[in-house]
Chains A and B, each alone.
Chain A
Amino acid sequence: AQKVTQAQTEISVVEKEDVTLDCVYETRDTTYYLFWYKQPPSGELVFLIRRNSFDEQNEISGRYSWNFQKSTSSFNFTITASQVVDSAVYFCALRFRQGGKLIFGQGTELSVKP
């Protein structure tokens, strides 16, 4: 089965705290792609990162970092020193080499309070 699980439905933190959003995926494919999207209160979906299954190197972009571990089928997203503007719903998604279908997790709603 192809599936993405974001077990954390809602997370609430205080500004400047670090927060990690979990993403666990299931797939039989050896080649696949993982994504994170942000959906702010305005509703649009904003692309954050894409990771290929054959590249387990972790990535850092400013306050954002991603930890990809094939051994545990996880692709976790950490925000360091969170800010109020980080408040949004974050979606993890999985895509296979064949076709353009994305399978989404249910999303994690992050609330950063001042």
Chain B
Amino acid sequence: NAGVTQTPKFQVLKTGQSMTLQCAQDMNHEYMSWYRQDPGMGLRLIHYSVGAGITDQGEVPNGYNVSRSTTEDFPLRLLSAAPSQTSVYFCASREGGSGNTIYFGEGSWLTVV
């Protein structure tokens, strides 16, 4: 029962570097999304996808790219990391249809120095 798997769990980047946070789910969920969590701000939606080949922007998309080539995978790319992107990132997924529970990965702690 893997559920939603995120890698890496911890990462330190230098300003300007690029990296990809990986997210995979084995539940055949249609919806996948990325959130970032910052102190006092709760979780904010970065990007989301309603199915393979379809992505859309959330509340705070700037500085991030996503793609959804398969149902299982939804990587989040930081093209040129900035200190403001220091955060905890959560990937989530859920089944299609209304009301279904959203399941989260364990989180990825990213520090940009």
Interface residue ranges, A against B (CB under 8 Å): 4, 9, 31, 33, 35, 37, 43-45, 47, 50, 52, 91, 93, 95, 97, 99-107
- A104 with B98, Cβ < 8 A, contacts A43-B107, A44-B106 known: no
Q: Are the CB atoms of A43 and B88 closer together than 8 Å?
A: yes
Range of interface residues on B (Cβ < 8 Å): 20 to 34
**Which residues of chain B from 42 to 56 have any CB-CB distance to chain A below 8 Å in the complex?**
42-45, 48, 50
Contact of A35 among B31, B35, B101 (CB under 8 A): B101
- A102 with B98, Cβ < 8 A, contacts A45-B90, A45-B107, A91-B42 known: no
Q: Are the CB atoms of B42 and A105 closer together than 8 Å?
A: yes
**Nearest chain-A residue to B29 (Cβ)?**
A100
**Nearest chain-B residue to A107 (Cβ)?**
B42
Within 8 Å CB of A9, what residues of B?
40
**Nearest chain-A residue to B109 (Cβ)?**
A43
B69 CB, min distance to chain A CBs, angstroms: 18
Q: For the complex, would chain B's binding face be called helix, strand, loop or mixed by DSSP majority? A: strand
Interface residue ranges, B against A (CB under 8 Å): 31-33, 35, 40-45, 48, 50, 58, 88, 90, 92, 94, 98-99, 101-104, 106-107, 109
B102 CB, min distance to chain A CBs, angstroms: 6
**Nearest chain-A residue to B92 (Cβ)?**
A102
Count of chain A to chain B residue pairs whose CB atoms are closer than 8 Å in the complex:
62
- A102 with B101, Cβ < 8 A, contacts A43-B107, A44-B106 known: no
Inter-chain pairs besides A4-B42, A99-B31, A100-B48, 5 sampled, C-beta below 8 Å: A44-B107, A45-B90, A47-B103, A97-B99, A103-B45
Within 8 Å CB of B90, what residues of A?
45
B27 CB, min distance to chain A CBs, angstroms: 13
Q: Are the CB atoms of B102 and A91 closer together than 8 Å?
A: no
- A102 with B45, Cβ < 8 A, contacts A31-B98, A33-B99, A35-B101 known: yes
Report Cα–Cα, A100/B54, bound state, in Å: 13
Within 8 Å CB of A91, what residues of B?
42-43
Q: Are the CB atoms of B42 and A106 closer together than 8 Å?
A: yes
Report Cα–Cα, A37/B35, bound state, in Å: 14
